Amino acid sequence: MSRRDASAAIPLDKKELIGKKPIKTISVPSELRRPTNTAERDILTSELKTQWQCDLVVHWDNGRIRQFDIYGSGADATNATGYLNRWVSNAHLKSKDSSSWAKTSAFNADKWYYDQLDLMDRDRKELFKGPAPQSLDNGDPLPRITVDWPEDLQVHHVTPRDIFGNKLEGLNELRMRDEVFITLLPFKGGLWQVEISGFAASNIEKAKEHYNTLIEKVKMAEFGVKTSVTIILDDEEGLNITFDAARGLGPKTGDIVVPRLVASPLMFKAGNFRERGLQCTDLSTIQQAIHQSLEAIRAQKGSYDFVVRLGYLALRPEKMSGDQVGKTISKADFRASIDSDVALITKKGVFNTELGSEILRRFMTDNELFEPTTSAANYSSPPATLEETRPVYRGTWVFSDPDKSPEPSAPPVRHPGRPAPLQKKPDTPAPSVPRTLWVVQVDFTYDEDAKPEMIGQQFYKLEPNMVTPKTHMDIKLLELGVSRGWQFALESMSKVPKRLTPAILTKFASSVTMNPNYDPNSLEIFARWNTTPTAVRHLKYGRLEQIYSFGFKGTCYKAELTATWVPGQGRPAWNLGVRHSEWATHLGGLESLPVGGKLKWGNPTLTFLPDDGCSHVGEEDDGEMNQMKEMMGDTNLDPQAEIPPRNGIRTLTKCLMQVSEVVVSVSAAQGGKL
């Protein structure tokens, strides 16, 4: 009898779980609950114990299951979560009695054989989570190496237990994948050490490399300094800054103050910077900041998005009150304020409905600047002409975690003649847990028959206590004369497979449909969806986007013009961004990055900012490339070092200036309205 068969035969003793915290809690939404027999509970409990060595505690509410608590670890708990999520999604479709009988599938010898092999392999790898043997089977000593804990972490009193847990359980995935034993040695001589041992020297070396990558991640989190770059593009076109109110610039602006450069007749003509281009020093600074930001994330798992957005400039209300509107300060004082404590932000929704629609018409007729292309979410053939460009439709909704804030249990049904129960003392409030938000994203397009087609459902989690994606880049190029700025945005979320997503969210995503016969020129929203009570209770925010993509001629960069509908706003606001068609491909490998893994991009500057504007085919061994490697290396750059700008950053900024020229031209024709 195998380890799992033996343990499955032993009934669960809840006393063994006292003091233990479930690794996962799954709530059953009220609209998906149904009367359930204890026999079905026993089937679920046995299945989790037999298949994945997980204990299951079921919570009831008037004969219906309202919550599952899973006790387990690692991949087994992940598989058990997926199994129970499927049960929650489908249980309400079956009757109480039909689900009470265990279903036995036909015996498949091949499947049984491979299942046994997989089981034995997993059991073998589980051994590496335990203590290391003293010697090999033949009596030879076990190969081992010792790795010192970094001195800079030691000086700041950061220990291995602080990072990986008391028994280094945070390294369990690394232990099992590389098949090594990792042991924290006793603290001697003021030095922490970790011993890596195993049956194969090659596995030990591989594990050491992965372990060192994790340490570099820790050091980056502890000591890494995020580079912040703010460049005033029209710096030579004015001397003073005036503060305007942000009326009509976008949704929910409130009392936000907008800075604007006052043009001076003693300096360059307003907007002349778009023709001159950026100075070499500024190009070098931007190139270096991009390089550093990409180097910092190449070992961090996540779903990343890299785009350069145009937004209107604003000063945070908590730093600049509305009574500053109308005041004028010198440009030097303004620069000092944004470099210190006055937070300058670029807000989305940069164009109103009329201006955004006019920019779209201009893009569709500008055959000198643009060429037809497809959007990042649509891999069909590009249209024949710019005028035939069709959008991709995207809906994005943010929910609180349904499993972290379950519905309260209904009070038990009582006969009206029974006396009321005694009032109990209120329980001690449980300690607050970090709030986690889920993001649901659904994409649509029209097929060849002009029928709406769903082309993707994606599910993400934000970092605890965060309401927006995590930012990894802070580069702003300011066009103060028109109160706009380019924001280089590198953002990340955690992508979650559908099977591990709460059932109420997957059902919500499946309910989203396109309105039939929708006219892209309409100002009405294009989608509809079912709103169940649980979904409404957890919904925090949502928006609908209509995304048009236009390719820059001779490059792989594209401009994305997006109409956005948000709650409380009947008409769409428009956003504008620029991205490279290969950025998503390069960043995609980070979604499935294993523990201790690191993507091999080569030099990030050459990969993400190719000299020809399209793609970097390889690191040719030429003099210029070698010089670039020597100056930039594969590690963080010296912030004071100035690296000569390459053609790649010149091409990108040229695209930004070309689009900016179009926007200013259309805005001027509209009377300067945003």
> Contact at 8 Å (CB) between 458 and 495?
yes
How confident is the model over 322-332, as pLDDT tens digits?
677 888 999 99
Report percent pLDDT > 70 for the chain: 83
Q: Which of 82, 153, 90, 76 is nearest to 119 (CA)?
A: 76
Helices (H), 34-167: 38-52, 74-91, 109-126, 151-155, 160-164
3-state secondary structure of 586: helix
> Contact at 8 Å (CB) between 511 and 503?
no
Instruction: List C-alpha distances in Å: 102 to 40, 70, 188.
Output: 8, 21, 57
Instruction: Assess whether pLDDT exceeds 60 at residue 248.
Output: no
> Contact at 8 Å (CB) between 367 and 446?
no
Burial class (CB in 10 A: 0-12, 13-18, 19+), 307: middle
The pLDDT of residue 624:
47
* Highest mean pLDDT pick, 247-261, 609-623, 628-642: 609-623
Q: Cβ of 297: how many Cβ atoms within 10 Å?
A: 23
Residue 210 Rama label (left phi>0; alpha psi -120 to 50; beta): alpha
The pLDDT of residue 630:
47
Rounded average pLDDT over 301-319: 87
Residue 205 DSSP label: H
To 5 degrees, how large is the angle CA 52–CA 53–CA 57? 100
225 vs 212: CA distance, rounded Å: 20
Mean predicted lDDT score pLDDT of the chain: 86
Q: 76-85, 128-137, 402-411: which has the minimum mean pLDDT?
A: 402-411
**Residue bearing tokens 């004015």:** 238
The better pLDDT of the pair 629, 603 is held by 603
The better pLDDT of the pair 340, 301 is held by 301
Rounded average pLDDT over 531-550: 94
Instruction: Assess whether pLDDT exceeds 50 at residue 7.
Output: no
> Contact at 8 Å (CB) between 2 and 61?
no
The pLDDT of residue 123:
86
Q: What type of residue sits at position 389? A: T
The pLDDT of residue 629:
47
549 vs 375: CA distance, rounded Å: 5
Instruction: Assess whether pLDDT exceeds 70 at residue 132.
Output: yes
285 vs 297: CA distance, rounded Å: 19
Instruction: Assess whether pLDDT exceeds 90 at residue 491.
Output: yes
The better pLDDT of the pair 366, 618 is held by 366
> Cα-flanking dihedrals φ and ψ of residue 650, to 5°?
-65, -40
**Residue 624, H or E segment:** helix 623-632
How confident is the model over 344-362, as pLDDT tens digits?
777 777 888 999 999 999 9
The pLDDT of residue 227:
76
The pLDDT of residue 420:
61
Q: 567 is written with which tokens?
A: 């709650």
Rounded average pLDDT over 295-321: 87
For the chain, how far is it from start to end, CA to CA, in angstroms?
73
Q: What type of residue sits at position 244? A: D
Q: 207-221, 344-358, 647-661: which has the minimum mean pLDDT?
A: 344-358
Q: 114-128, 417-431, 515-529: which has the minimum mean pLDDT?
A: 417-431
**Residue bearing tokens 């090659």:** 202
